Amino acid sequence: MNILVLGGDGHLGWPTALYLSRRGRHVGVVDNSARRGYDLEMGVHTLVPIVDLQHRVRRWSEVSGDAIDVFVGDLTDAAFVNGTLASFRPDAVVHFAEQRAAPYSMIDRQHAVYTQVDNVVGTRNLLYAIAEHDRDVHLVKLGTLGEYGTPDIDIEEGYLEITHRGRTDILAYPKQPGSFYHLSKVHDSHNIMFACRIWGIRATDLNQGIVYGHETEETALHPDLATRFDYDSVSGTALDRFCVQAVTGHPLTVYGSGGQTRGVLNILDTPACVELGVLHPADRGEFRVFNRFTGSFSVAQLAEMVAAGHRGPVTIEHSPDPRVEKEEHYYRAAHTELLALGLVPHLLTPTVVRSLLAVCERHKENADVDAILPTVQWRETSSTLATSGGPVRGTVAAAEVG
């Protein structure tokens, strides 16, 4: 099976490529280091050092004996996308390749426009390429639970049965995205659904929760295979930020009341979910949606788990929420489809939190604690955040949900 992983140099794309390669798939990786460029723009860096993509791929070949093909190019370049699919001839395309940070998309107008052009145009080019080259190719797309927002009803997996004035239909679940990034993912979902309907292609949208954890069986085989660990306020998730704050002796900064509740997923389950989607493809013309998470926690609960897991003293502080979101809300989302396909989840436990703290402890000399405090304000139309001149015009932005 030929599997093309778009955004394969990223936090989740890289371990997914290794996971699939180790299980006998012929893997191709598409990227151009745009994600690394965002670090340069923001003046931040991954806590755990990573080597360049070509070095990574060579090391993987030495360690495993398996080769990974590398394609450098831009999804917004239709000729590149068409040429890559024609050359590699994938059976499945795993699409991680988007600007994935909500705060990045909210910095100012330029970053909002960049995010939506990069994400929406790139995905649309991919849909055309699949339709023109081979409509049996299965698209497995990284979506986000953030598309749904926090409605005061249960969240279903992509669709909702509606009865209105005596008539009933099954419609796409209403979307309440919380940033221009999340809006781009909604646009993607609508474009993919439309393409499946008119061209008969097949697609699975994996609406993923917040990913925690750092190592997989494959990335642990050699330091050069490590994936990135983001902890800054633009790209880092709450749990990772709290762990770095704890090991560096700083208070854990909870936005607002801390009642914001989200679905979470262990990094070990990300490639497993992708593989399940690949091995059980959608039907021709079907746009299938799986909610990909294995537990739900509030931000305050995550802070308390880190405080309990750290061996030293830890304080928790509440700061004004830079985002526009409900700080206390109902949250119950369905996530049964992947479990039905055989997913055996790795849950968030005190042991897992302690392992994350251990990673942060080993690399704490790399931490820039000033980068953790929020600098992007949702309520403003511009930001005082200093950049090196705006978004990096990348090719494939190695991406994952944040």
Catalytically active residues, by annotation: 144, 181, 185
**Distant-in-sequence, close-in-space partners of 313: CB < 8 Å, separation ≥ 6:** none
d(CA 373, CA 66): 41
Structure-block tokens of residue 21: 């390669």
Q: Which residues pair with 155 in a beta bridge?
A: 333
d(CA 8, CA 1): 17
Residue 351 CB burial class (10 angstroms; 0-12, 13-18, ≥19)? exposed
Distances (CA, A) of 31 to 112, 114, 297: 21, 17, 32
Distances (CA, A) of 118 to 74, 146, 303, 392: 9, 18, 33, 11
d(CA 198, CA 194): 6
Is residue 390 helix, strand or coil? coil
Phi first, then psi: give them for residue 211, nearest 5 degrees.
-90, 135
d(CA 129, CA 137): 10
Residue 67 CB burial class (10 angstroms; 0-12, 13-18, ≥19)? middle
Closest CA to 121 of 190, 184, 52: 184
CA–CA–CA angle 298, 299, 301 (5° rounding): 65
Structure-block tokens of residue 248: 């560096």
Structure-block tokens of residue 151: 């409605």
d(CA 118, CA 393): 9
CA–CA–CA angle 44, 216, 361 (5° rounding): 50
d(CA 126, CA 76): 9
CA torsion sign, 387 to 262 to 120 to 46? positive
